[in-house]
Each structure stands twice: as structure tokens, then as C-alpha cells.
Structure 1
Amino acid sequence: MNTAPTPKAQVPDIAAQITYAMRTMGVAPIPRNYELFYEAYIGSNPTLTKELAALGSKATQDELDELGRQYFGNHQSQVIENAHSKLIAELDGLLRVLQQEQTSLVSYNKLLGETYTRISSKSHTSADILRSAINILSEATGDTMAHGEKTVEKVSQKSQEMDQVRKELDEYKRIANTDSLTRIANRRAFDERLAAIYDSGTSAPLTGLVLADIDNFKKINDTYGHPVGDKILATVATVIRANVRKDCFVARTGGEEFAVIVDGNTAEEVNQMCERIRTALETTPFKNSKTGVNYGPITLSLGFCMAGDAEDPGELYAKSDIALYCAKNAGRNRTKIYEDGMKKDFTKSWLIYKR
């Protein structure tokens, strides 16, 4: 764990720092480039970070896109750009439909005015006036109704097309906020959810942030290799998810670290949930069915803090991390709640990874 202390008042603006880095390298500030720099900047993929740095200040868009395809598959940011373009086109089409409807109504209003003029004229007999008025109004009303039906049909079609674009955007967000290995939320989604706790300006007293770390995970990777480590990470995520309520937010925040944000529970209830996760994992078998090699037991250390005991997301994260450190320092495989007086020299900053 990073032991560098973080001043409370200096929660970094990662977006500004990434934008500055992109500007320094002369990179276009488009969504897919931002995604690339975000992943490299937070250090979740060291190889990506090195390759991006190696491009230097002369990186071309083609080189950046190639990195994106290499590390993000089909480069999902392109999806949102395409969806955005389609949405603009659909809205433009809908606007034209409504403008045509407005033109039709203007014409109808003009016909009503002409009819009124004929009715008011003293140069025609009553029968001629009524006959003329009825013919004009019948024709105009029929045309307007037919046009209105076409307009409704066009608007309905445009609405369906825009709804499809919305679904594409929702799917992109789901993919962009999901950790590909464990299939739970990733660090980006965690940052958004953590910040939302304090959106109203006051903390939620019954909201808790739990940070969990797999004990001795480096040793597991070094002994059995990263493929085994990846399977263990996926299993740990499954165990955590299975032992919390469905409405709890569960994320992999980096490496072997996980986070749970739980709403509507007291500190005692959050502690019980942590213990349920811990004991469930402790008793989960980790054995290779082919070779018979036993990788377990796999254990977790957990630390948590209630949002009512912190003033902002940075402080809540820092206090939960202090509690996690104390759980590690006390022998691992245990749960600790943050308490005043705990050692404060072992915290990591929220929203940024310092290298």
C-alpha cells in the first residue's frame, strides 16, 4: 500500500491533469483519446502507460487509435462518437418534421382568414358565401388532418430511432464502466459513484464505503502465475457480489483491491456484511481440478468508514483506506472500522494513482 500521506484539502483534479498532458503532447481532445490517457494515467495498465509515453510529443492519431484497438478491443469510445452523430442527425430530422408541421398550420390559418374575408364580403349571396366557405374549410381541414397523421407517424419513427441511439449510449456506458476481468464495476464507475454520495452537499449517515484487499496476492501471482491470479480475482469478485444486497455497488478499484458502497445500513450492519464476505471467501476452495494444486486459502482484509464520519469523497476514501491498512497491520483476514486515532500515514489519494 502507498504510504505517502495525502493532505485533505488537496484532492487532485484528474480531468484537468489528463487534459494538460494531452495538450502538452499535442493530442486532439476527443473522447477516445481521453479514454486512452485516463487508463494510462491512473496506472491500471503499466504496459499501456509505457507505450503511450514512448510515443512522445509526436504521436499521430493513427498511432493513438492503434493503441486503443490493442488495449480496448474495438475502441469503445468510437461507439459514443458514432452514437452522438446519429443522435444529432435524428434530432435534425425531427426538427424538420416539426417545421413542416408549423408551415402546414400557417397555411391552414391563412385559409381560415380567407374564408372569413369571403363570409364578410357583401358582394356575394348567402348561399354562395356558405358554399364557398364549406368547400374551402373541408379541403383545408382534410389536407391538414392528412398532413398531421403523416407528422405523427414521422415523429413516432424519429422517437424510436432516437430511443435506439439512447440504448446504444447506455450499452457503451455499461461496457466502459465494467472491469473486463471480473465483470463488476471498474475504477471509473467507482469514482463517479463515490462522488455522488456527497452530491446533495450533505453526507448520508447510513452510507458506508468498504475497501477490501486480497491478502498476499503478489505471492500468489509470483508462485502460480498471472493466469491463476486472474481466476482468483474473478472468483473473489463473485464471492463479494454474492454476499451483499443486489443494490450494493461493487467495484474492482485496481489490482487486487475492491470496493463496496452500501446504502441504508448502520456501521454495525456494514461490519456484519464485511464479515459475511470475509468468512465466505475464507471457506471457498481454490483448487485446480486437473492438477490437484491447492491455491488456497484466499483471504481478504477489509476496512470501512461511514460517510457521516467524513466531509467529502477524498476524506471518506482516505479513512476507509486507513482502516484497511490497520486490518492488514493487525494480521490480515479481518475487518476494521475507521476510528479516530488510527495511524494516518498510510493513505492513498482518491481519483489518482501516484507513481
Structure 2
Amino acid sequence: MQTATSNRTPVPDVAAQVAHAMRMMGVAPIPRNYELYYEAYLGSNPQLSKELAALGSRATQEELDAIGARYFSHIHYPTGIERAHNTLAAKLTELVSLLKDEQYALDNYNRVLDEAFHKMTSKSAASADILRHAIDILTEATADTMSQGKERVQSVVQKSFEMEVIRQELDEYKRIANTDSLTRLGNRRAFDENLAAVYNSEHLRNFTGLLVADIDHFKKVNDSFGHPVGDKILATVSNVIRANLRRDAFVARTGGEEFAVILGGSSQEECLQAADRIRTVLAGTPFKNSKTGINYGPITLSVGVCMATAADDPFDLYNKADIALYSAKNAGRNRTVLFEDGMRKDSGRNWLIYRR
């Protein structure tokens, strides 16, 4: 493992620049619009950048949503969720109605029992007639109640099944919304949620580390070989990262060529070992076109590491891991750097894209 510490040169505040550009163009500052312009700013999708530029300063929300639906379908899912929620609400209403009917039937049956009891204890008629009439009442009421009960049980089972299907549909919408379409890792939205959750528990905070990794010289790869090749490299890098971590580690693509790993239940040494294992395996992975023989590699990663106990909150944790990452970049790349007190805190990058 190589470690290094050095002062960082200021980097552009991407979040501020994207937000400023959106204001200048009159674009509503909502998360799905931000993601469009953020990706356009990074330049990872030239066609997306070209389409947004063509809209100029007169873009309507419908036009932006149409572009978003083509490139980022995972953030244009509210309609489906709303439909599923409405269906679920309707099924719950039907189920409540069934239960109310069942309650009414039981209440009515109790009334019949009470009537039969009064007839049997009545002294105004012959005992045989009373008993015969009471038995007829109870037999008919019991048969009706059992028949209605069976029907309602079947209806309740059916409604429960339908609600389970809808619940699975809602889970799938959330999974899609939290998944990066290219790498199939978690996206920035999912990362924000998982990182914030670290500070919901003292135990999690005490045994969690954050790794922030960035592909070295990735812009040069895109410029030299084109974005389709760059996308394939991103997918391969994501597979290498995922394959060299425990199954319970959370991995996300948080930017164009940036990845983040949240390692729960891990010591500082374990986090550093994980970061170096990923770097070493990736550096030894061939990136070559089997048909043309073109070699795209080597592909390497710089990694910044910070433990949750060294930060006050999720924002501070990401900021410090980010500083460590850029210290690794400045120290020569393809190395792991652990955040230490005294490193400059001027990364200027805002991870809270979805904070309202």
C-alpha cells in the first residue's frame, strides 16, 4: 500500500457551476433536471450535452423530461409509483370493506343467537315449539355465516396476494430509481441515502469506512478511444470493485468516473486493505479489444479513505474521503490515501444532489 499526503490545488465547484447554469437558462432546480445538466457538464454523454444545448434557454419541463426519459429512465419513475400507490390504496379500501362486512355478519349472527336465547327462555310458548324454532334459527344463521365467511376469506386471500404483487412492483421501482443504468451499481441517490444512514447508529458509525475512488486519466481514455469504449471500461471497473468486496459492502457510481464504497463492520486497516486489493486487481486487469488488438490499459484507480469516526456527519465524511482521494491524485495516482487531520478541506464538491 502506498500512502501520501499533500496540499491540494483547488478544484471547480461542479455543483455550484451546474446550479448557476440552470438558473441562467431558466431551468427549474429540481433533482431530475440537476442530474441531466450534471451529466452534461461532466461530458460523459456527448449526445445528451448536444440535445440540452439545442434547447437553449427556452427549454420547457416537458422537453427536459422527454430527454431525461431517454437517458435516465430511473429518475422519471414517479408516474409508475403513483399508479402503484393508487392501486394499493384501492385494494386496501376493498379489504377494509370486506372486514367491515365480516364484522357486520358477526354482529348479525350474535343478534340471532341472542334472539334464539330469549325464545328458549321464554315462558309464553310450549317448550317443544320454542326449541324447534330456536334450532331452525340457529341452523340457518350458522349456515349463512359460514358461507359468507368462506367467501370473505377467499376474497381477503386474493386481495392480500394482489397487494403483495403491488408491493413488489413498488420495490422494483425503488431499485430502478437507485441503480446506475450503465454499471448496475447504486447511483448517487442510493449513495446519499446509505451514507446518511451511517450516522443513524452509533454502532454503524464506529465500524464504518468510506472509500472514494476515481479512475486515473479517464478523460484521456474517452478522448483517445471514444465514449462507447469508456462506457465498457466503466462497466469492467465496476465489476472489479464489486467482485473484490464483501457481499454486504455498498458500492455506487457517484459521478462520471467516480465510485464510492461504504464498508460497514470494518476497521481502518480492513478498509485500507480493501482499497488496495481493488487497486491491485484492477491494475492487473487487461483492457484490450480482442478483435482489433487495441490495448486501452492500463486502467488504475486512486482511492481516498476516511473512517466515519473521523467525521462529524455524512457531508463531512464524504468531504474528507474526497480530500484524501485528491491527495492520492496529487501524489502520483494509483495509490490509496487515508484522511489525516491537517489535510486541506477545500474540495468544494457537494454530494447532496437530492437534498431538498
Equivalents in 1 of 2:331, 2:9: separation in Å?
Answer: 17
Which residue of 1 is the match for residue 351 of structure 2?
Answer: 350
Which residue of 1 is the match for residue 5 of structure 2?
Answer: none
CA contact (8 A) 1:209 1:259 kept: yes
CA contact (8 A) 1:40 1:49 kept: no
CA contact (8 A) 1:5 1:344 kept: no
- Seen in structure 2, the aligned counterparts of structure 1 residues 139 and 45 have a Cα distance that, compared at 3 Å, is farther
2:277 is the counterpart of 1:276: yes
- Seen in structure 2, the aligned counterparts of structure 1 residues 89 and 226 have a Cα distance that, compared at 3 Å, is same
Aligned residue pair count: 333
Which residue of 2 is the match for residue 9 of structure 1?
Answer: none
- Seen in structure 2, the aligned counterparts of structure 1 residues 163 and 285 have a Cα distance that, compared at 3 Å, is same
Q: Which has the higher contact order (CA 8 A, sep 6+)?
A: 2
Q: How does 1:249-288 map to 2 (within 5 A)?
A: 249-288=250-289
Which residue of 1 is the match for residue 10 of structure 2?
Answer: 3
Which residue of 1 is the match for residue 45 of structure 2?
Answer: none
Which residue of 2 is the match for residue 333 of structure 1?
Answer: 334
Equivalents in 2 of 1:203, 1:78: separation in Å?
Answer: 35
- Seen in structure 2, the aligned counterparts of structure 1 residues 56 and 111 have a Cα distance that, compared at 3 Å, is farther
Residue 127 (structure 1) shift: 1.6
1:254 alignment partner, SS class: coil
Equivalents in 2 of 1:211, 1:25: separation in Å?
Answer: 30
Give percent identity, aligned residues only. Answer: 57
Q: How does 1:127-276 map to 2 (within 5 A)?
A: 127-200=128-201, 204-276=205-277
Which residue of 2 is the match for residue 36 of structure 1?
Answer: 32
Equivalents in 2 of 1:38, 1:95: separation in Å?
Answer: 42
1:245 alignment partner, SS class: coil
Residue 125 (structure 1) shift: 1.7
Partner AA of 1:339 in structure 2: E
Worse-matched range after superposition: 181-190 or 98-107: 98-107
Worse-matched range after superposition: 265-274 or 117-126: 117-126
Equivalents in 2 of 1:153, 1:37: separation in Å?
Answer: 47
Worse-matched range after superposition: 47-56 or 263-272: 47-56
- Seen in structure 2, the aligned counterparts of structure 1 residues 26 and 196 have a Cα distance that, compared at 3 Å, is closer
Q: Report the TM-score when normalising by structure 2.
A: 0.85
Equivalents in 2 of 1:81, 1:50: separation in Å?
Answer: 29
CA contact (8 A) 2:215 2:258 kept: yes
Equivalents in 2 of 1:279, 1:219: separation in Å?
Answer: 21
Runs (5+) with no aligned partner, structure 2: 1-7, 42-47
Alpha-carbon RMSD: 3.0
1:204 alignment partner, SS class: helix
Worse-matched range after superposition: 159-168 or 125-134: 125-134
Partner AA of 2:101 in structure 1: Q
Equivalents in 1 of 2:9, 2:36: separation in Å?
Answer: 19
Residue 131 (structure 1) shift: 1.5
- Seen in structure 2, the aligned counterparts of structure 1 residues 147 and 36 have a Cα distance that, compared at 3 Å, is same
Equivalents in 1 of 2:275, 2:184: separation in Å?
Answer: 21
Equivalents in 1 of 2:293, 2:10: separation in Å?
Answer: 38
CA-to-partner distance for each residue in 1:289-343, whole Å, 9 max, x for gaps? 1111111111000001111111110110011011111111111000011111112
Equivalents in 1 of 2:78, 2:141: separation in Å?
Answer: 50
Equivalents in 2 of 1:2, 1:40: separation in Å?
Answer: 28
Runs (5+) with no aligned partner, structure 1: 7-11, 28-33
CA contact (8 A) 1:241 1:250 kept: yes
Partner AA of 2:213 in structure 1: A
Residue 142 (structure 1) shift: 1.5
Q: Report the TM-score when normalising by structure 1.
A: 0.85
Which residue of 2 is the match for residue 66 of structure 1?
Answer: 66
CA contact (8 A) 1:317 1:349 kept: no
2:254 alignment partner, SS class: strand
- Seen in structure 2, the aligned counterparts of structure 1 residues 247 and 220 have a Cα distance that, compared at 3 Å, is same
Worse-matched range after superposition: 343-352 or 234-243: 343-352
Which residue of 2 is the match for residue 290 of structure 1?
Answer: 291
CA contact (8 A) 2:27 2:33 kept: no
- Seen in structure 2, the aligned counterparts of structure 1 residues 288 and 26 have a Cα distance that, compared at 3 Å, is closer
Which residue of 1 is the match for residue 98 of structure 2?
Answer: 97
Residue 183 (structure 1) shift: 1.1
Equivalents in 2 of 1:82, 1:270: separation in Å?
Answer: 42
